[in-house]
Amino acid sequence: MIPLRDHNPTRHFPIVTVSLIAINVAVFALINLRGDQAAHLAYSMVPAEIAGKVEKTIPAPPPMVSIFTSMFLHGGWMHIIFNMWTLWIFGNNLEDALGRGKYLALYVFWGYLAAWSHIAFNWDSVIPTVGASGAIAGVMGAYLVLFPHARIDCMLTFFVITFVEVPAIFFLIFWITLQFFQGNPGVAYLAHIGGFVAGWLTLKIAGGQRILGHRIHYDHDD
For residue 11, what pLDDT is reported? Answer: 92
What is the model's pTM? 0.89
Residue 82 CB partners (closer than 8 Å, separation 6+): 2
pLDDT, tens digit, 9 for 90 and up, residues 146-189: 999 999 999 998 888 999 999 999 999 999 999 998 877 778 88
In the predicted structure, residue 110 carries a pLDDT above the cut 60: yes
Cβ-in-10-Å burial (0-12, 13-18, 19+) of 101 comes to exposed
Q: Give the CATH H-level superfamily of domain 2-212.
A: Rhomboid-like (1.20.1540.10)
